[in-house]
């Protein structure tokens, strides 16, 4: 990457971070616009939040435009963190055009790579029971369960990580997988629902 291009991307990232009202942390690279739902989201050094909380570590790289991802882009990154939710993103994390929907807790470790067009959610979004689905207090019946993505995990493009899942350190989620259960460390899982297809040797 030429020095000129680096300067351009740094300035563009900052401009886009400002434009999307997303405070950047140290080394954050934000290409294109990253959408954040819930207006008063806050990073760890800000106080008094009433909405969902987002914490972002160092060297966060968020890719949102078609030209910057070899697999293309079907959407910009979108963080939806509800008032009682906390989204934690570790250091050196890269995310391309992904939705993260957090009602309770989603924790992403260090050095995690998340491919283009993924969905990570700790909530079903709607109740299982059809009678409760249109109730005024429907939200009380929605099932939520925290998601934990360990350090060094690599999530392939267009994958879906559903509620309650823990992905162990160093695991890989194959492209287009739907992960409904925990993934052991250093496992490669693939399919719908995702199953272990092999282990990564030391
Ligand atoms: C379908 C769903 C609601 C079921 O939730 P649940 O009743 O808690 O289901 P469980 O997690 O207990 O899973 C039951 C079984 O179905 C499988 N399963 C669940 N969701 C699955 C999915 N989306 N694809 C494939 N298999 C799935 C599980 O692996 C499990 O299999 P097993 O019986 O062999 O162990 C949930 O898994 C889901 O898909 N939630 C997302 C809902 C959504 O898209 N909301 C959009 C809001 S805008």
Dump pLDDT digits (tens) for 167-189.
999 999 999 999 999 999 999 99
User: According to the model, what pLDDT value does residue 100 have?
Assistant: 92
The finding on whether 59 has its CB within 6 A of some atom of ligand 1 is no
pLDDT digits (tens, 9 = 90+) for 106-142: 999 999 999 999 999 999 999 999 999 999 999 899 9
List the residue whose alpha carbon is closest to atom 15 of ligand 1.
180
pTM of the model as a whole:
0.85
Q: What are phi and psi of 157, to 5 degrees?
A: -55, 145
List the residue whose alpha carbon is closest to atom 26 of ligand 1.
193
Pocket test for ligand 1, best of 122, 162, 179, 181 (most atoms within 8 A of CB): 162
Pick the most confident of 15-29, 73-87, 111-125. Answer: 111-125
User: According to the model, what pLDDT value does residue 47 have?
Assistant: 32
Residue 25 has pLDDT above 60, yes or no: no
Sorted by where each starts, the structural domains of the chain and their CATH numbers stand as 2-199 (2.160.10.10)
The finding on whether 143 has its CB within 6 A of some atom of ligand 1 is yes
Q: What letter would DSSP give residue 141?
A: G
User: According to the model, what pLDDT value does residue 69 have?
Assistant: 80
């Amino acid at each position: 990457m030429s020095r000129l291009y680096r300067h351009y991307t740094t300035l563009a990232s900052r401009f886009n971070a400002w434009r999307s009202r997303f405070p950047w942390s140290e080394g954050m690279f934000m290409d294109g616009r990253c959408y954040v739902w819930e207006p008063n989201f806050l990073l760890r050094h800000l106080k008094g939040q009433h909405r969902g909380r987002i914490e972002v570590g160092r060297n966060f790289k968020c890719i949102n435009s078609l030209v910057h991802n070899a697999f293309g882009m079907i959407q910009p990154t979108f963080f939806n963190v509800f008032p009682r939710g906390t989204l934690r993103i570790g250091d050196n994390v890269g995310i391309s055009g992904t939705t993260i929907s957090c009602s309770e807790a989603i924790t992403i470790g260090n050095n995690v790579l998340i491919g283009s067009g993924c969905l990570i959610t700790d909530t079903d979004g709607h109740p299982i029971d059809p009678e409760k689905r249109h109730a005024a207090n429907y939200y009380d019946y929605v099932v939520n369960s925290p998601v934990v993505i360990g350090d060094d995990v690599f999530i392939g493009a267009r994958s879906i990580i559903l509620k309650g899942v823990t992905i162990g350190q160093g695991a890989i989620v194959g492209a287009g997988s739907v992960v409904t259960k925990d993934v052991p460390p250093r496992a490669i899982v693939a399919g719908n629902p995702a199953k272990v297809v092999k282990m990564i040797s030391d």
